[in-house]
């Protein structure tokens, strides 16, 4: 932003969207009631997109939709039948909803493992099946998969999550290949630890798994492999998601963009 006379509110919106104009585009963001999904929904709306806010938490979905002028859909993404009720005429799909469970493999509850795959792999697959025909018909589409550094690297005690994120990486690459002839790109964004409620819950879980105090978890466990010794903010992840929908990234597809403070670079 160059104008010194631009109101602060406009400066904020433009800074957040890096000049990306999504007027006339429709986005669907899963898990948009909290954390990274909420930041993505807000940034896409600020860029001019019509945004469908999907979350199983009714209060959060309605509140975010009201906040950003979007449409709320209260859906449990573990339920394939409910996914069928979501809109299909979507130009931008952000597969973001996720959950974590921390336990050694031998103690990992099979039902939690299965639930994680349903929400973080099967739901993105079903949403791609549902929305790709519309993107193809328009000759333009953007798929942004919120993966993780754990889509590229493993950590102990996270069998369900690491398995799901690696699967999402594969799904994203197939969508990139099949979408390419139709102006559709598909990419993963791979954050390290982001300051969200999911991470706040993990700090307590990791403390118990590693047998150390919660206050030591962030510095000694979470950030031990990151060169940058701070959590990343949800808005920093959302800025990359919006950039992937902008005018200069049409050749960028099938990629995984690390936002991990140097974790995978070392």
- Contact footprint for ligand NAD (CB under 6 A): 31, 33-37, 55-57, 60, 75-78, 96-99, 119, 146, 148, 191, 193-194, 196-199
Min dist. Cβ of residue 140 to ligand NAD (A): 25
Both tokens of 127, joined, read: 């949403």
Min dist. Cβ of residue 203 to ligand NAD (A): 10
Min dist. Cβ of residue 246 to ligand NAD (A): 21
Q: Which residue is nearest to ligand NAD (CB)?
A: 35
Nearest to ligand NAD of 57, 138 (CB atom): 57
- CA separation (Å) from 257 to 10, 188, 193? 28, 6, 14
Min dist. Cβ of residue 63 to ligand NAD (A): 11
Residues 149, 189 contacting (CB under 8 angstroms):
no
Measure the CA–CA gap between 72 and 82, rounded to whole angstroms. Answer: 14
Catalytic residue check, 251 = no
Secondary structure (DSSP) of 194-224: BSSHHHHHHHHHHHHHHTS-HHHIIIIIITT
Nearest to ligand NAD of 230, 248 (CB atom): 230
Nearest to ligand NAD of 180, 207 (CB atom): 207
Give the DSSP letter of residue 77.
T
Q: Which of 161, 193, 243, 263 is catalytic?
A: 161
Both tokens of 87, joined, read: 């809109």
- Kind and range of the H or E run holding 74: strand 71-74
Q: Would you please indicate which residues are annotated as catalytic (active-site) residues?
A: 161
């Amino acid at each position: 932003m160059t104008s010194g006379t631009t109101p602060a509110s406009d400066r904020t919106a433009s800074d957040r969207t890096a000049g990306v104009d999504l007027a006339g585009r429709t986005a669907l963001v899963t898990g948009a009631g909290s954390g990274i999904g909420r930041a993505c929904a807000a940034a896409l709306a600020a860029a001019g997109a019509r945004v469908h806010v999907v979350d199983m938490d009714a209060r959060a979905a309605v509140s975010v939709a009201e906040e950003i002028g979007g449409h709320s859909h209260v859906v449990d993404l573990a339920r394939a039948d409910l996914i069928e009720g979501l809109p299909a005429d979507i130009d931008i799909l952000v597969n973001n909803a996720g959950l974590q469970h921390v336990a050694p493999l031998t103690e990992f509850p099979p039902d939690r493992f299965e639930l994680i795959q349903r929400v973080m792999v099967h739901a993105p697959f079903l949403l791609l099946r549902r929305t790709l025909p519309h993107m193809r018909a328009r000759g333009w589409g953007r798929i942004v998969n919120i993966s993780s550094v754990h889509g590229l690297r493993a950590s102990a005690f996270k069998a369900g999550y690491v398995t799901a994120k690696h699967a999402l990486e594969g799904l994203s690459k197939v969508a990139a290949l099949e979408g390419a002839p139709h102006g559709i790109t598909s990419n993963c964004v791979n954050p390290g630890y982001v300051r969200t409620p999911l991470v706040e819950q993990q700090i307590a879980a990791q403390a118990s798994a590693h047998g150390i105090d919660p206050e030591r978890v962030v510095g000694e466990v979470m950030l031990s492999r990151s060169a940058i010794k701070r959590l990343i903010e949800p808005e920093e992840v959302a800025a990359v998601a919006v950039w992937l929908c902008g005018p200069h990234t049409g050749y960028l597809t099938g990629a995984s963009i690390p936002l991990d403070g140097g974790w995978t670079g070392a």
